[in-house]
């Protein structure tokens, strides 16, 4: 079955975070699908997928003007059928996930919030009005199981956990609002599993054998999950295996 098979024929899709492990794999799998006509690949520095179907653009999700321009570029010729937000951060330079509250640094915490929660909210603000209105559409943002308050048994990683919990709330809020004017639009958070990318690299030692996914395996699962969703699922968060993640 082709990926995101329930989208319209000649679908127009956008991937934000196309330079990342998971985002890049979404671009590859979506552009290989015959019914998808155009994939807009957004990243801070631009990408080269060597595929005529893939248009490379730049975006910085900490800059609203950049997001506004990106939304206009992606929908200039056709409304959007799907938007995948795969941008996010866990660590960068001196910013590392906290082991305890004593390690919280307000500036670092704000930066993580900015990229993981405020950024995707602004992407929703500018991209959701540009989605197709007369058919099934999908807006999916990569969240994480550690953003589940109900599932937090270990503590630690305060900024990342809080940013993904905030993202889940923002997606739920967006879903309620979007349903009023775009009843066929499905807005969800996705937990991809633990995936072998730059983001997880420093933390892979404790991943049990067989539980570290390749981006290909994770994205194949996530596309299957998206295909199984209906508008009544909008506002929820789903893991790679199709199970809902509790808030």
Ligand X SMILES: NC(=O)c1ccc[n+]([C@@H]2O[C@H](COP(=O)([O-])OP(=O)(O)OC[C@H]3O[C@@H](n4cnc5c(N)ncnc54)[C@H](OP(=O)(O)O)[C@@H]3O)[C@@H](O)[C@H]2O)c1
Residues that bind ligand X (CB under 6 A): 17, 19-23, 43-45, 59-62, 86-89, 115, 142, 144, 191-192, 194-195, 197-200
**Which residues neighbour 52 within 8 Å (Cβ) at sequence distance 6 or greater?**
none
Instruction: Tell me how far, at minimum, the Cβ of 49 lies from ligand X, in Å.
Output: 13
Instruction: Tell me how far, at minimum, the Cβ of 66 lies from ligand X, in Å.
Output: 8
| CA-based nearest residue to 95, from 212, 202, 204 | 202
Q: Do 16 and 83 contact (CB within 8 A), yes or no?
A: yes
Does residue 4 come out as left (phi exceeding 0), alpha (psi in the -120 to 50 range) or beta?
left
Instruction: Tell me how far, at minimum, the Cβ of 232 lies from ligand X, in Å.
Output: 24
Instruction: Tell me how far, at minimum, the Cβ of 103 lies from ligand X, in Å.
Output: 19
> Whole-angstrom distance between the N-terminal and C-terminal Cα of the chain?
31
Q: For strand 82-85 and strand 194-195, is the pairing parallel, antiparallel, or unpaired?
A: unpaired
Residue closer to ligand X (CB basis): 134 or 209: 209
Instruction: Tell me how far, at minimum, the Cβ of 41 lies from ligand X, in Å.
Output: 10
Alpha-carbon gap, residue 225 to 223, rounded angstroms: 5
Residue closer to ligand X (CB basis): 86 or 95: 86
Residue closer to ligand X (CB basis): 149 or 198: 198
Q: For strand 194-195 and strand 212-213, is the pairing parallel, antiparallel, or unpaired?
A: parallel
Residue closer to ligand X (CB basis): 89 or 95: 89
Residue closer to ligand X (CB basis): 30 or 132: 30
Q: Do 200 and 194 contact (CB within 8 A), yes or no?
A: yes
Q: Give the H/E segment covering residue 179.
A: helix 158-181
Instruction: Tell me how far, at minimum, the Cβ of 168 lies from ligand X, in Å.
Output: 12
Residue closer to ligand X (CB basis): 8 or 194: 194
Burial of 45 (0-12, 13-18, 19+ CB in 10 A): exposed
Counted residue by residue, the chain has a size of 247
Query: Dihedrals φ, ψ of 191, to 5°?
Result: -100, 120
Instruction: Tell me how far, at minimum, the Cβ of 98 lies from ligand X, in Å.
Output: 16
């Amino acid at each position: 079955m082709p990926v995101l098979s329930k989208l319209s024929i000649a679908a127009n899709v956008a991937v934000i975070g196309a330079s990342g492990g998971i985002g890049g794999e979404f671009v590859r799998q979506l552009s290989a699908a015959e019914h998808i006509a155009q994939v807009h690949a957004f990243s801070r520095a631009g990408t080269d997928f060597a595929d005529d179907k893939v248009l490379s653009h730049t975006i910085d999700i900490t800059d609203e003007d950049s997001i506004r321009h990106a939304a206009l570029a992606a929908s200039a010729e056709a409304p959007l059928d799907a938007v995948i937000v795969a941008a996010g951060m866990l660590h960068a330079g001196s910013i590392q996930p906290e082991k305890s509250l004593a390690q919280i640094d307000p500036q670092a915490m704000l930066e993580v919030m900015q990229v993981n929660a405020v950024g995707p909210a602004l992407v929703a603000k500018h991209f959701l009005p540009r989605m197709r209105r007369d058919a099934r559409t999908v807006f999916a943002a990569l969240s994480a199981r550690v953003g589940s308050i109900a599932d937090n048994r270990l503590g630690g990683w305060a900024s990342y956990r809080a940013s993904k919990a905030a993202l889940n709330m923002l997606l739920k809020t967006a879903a309620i609002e979007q349903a009023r004017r775009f009843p066929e639009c499905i807005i969800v958070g996705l937990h991809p599993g633990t995936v072998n990318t730059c983001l997880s690299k420093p933390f892979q030692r404790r991943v049990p054998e067989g539980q570290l996914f390749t981006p290909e395996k994770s994205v194949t699962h996530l596309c299957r999950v998206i295909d199984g969703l209906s508008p009544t699922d909008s506002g929820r968060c789903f893991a790679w295996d199709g199970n809902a993640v509790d808030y």
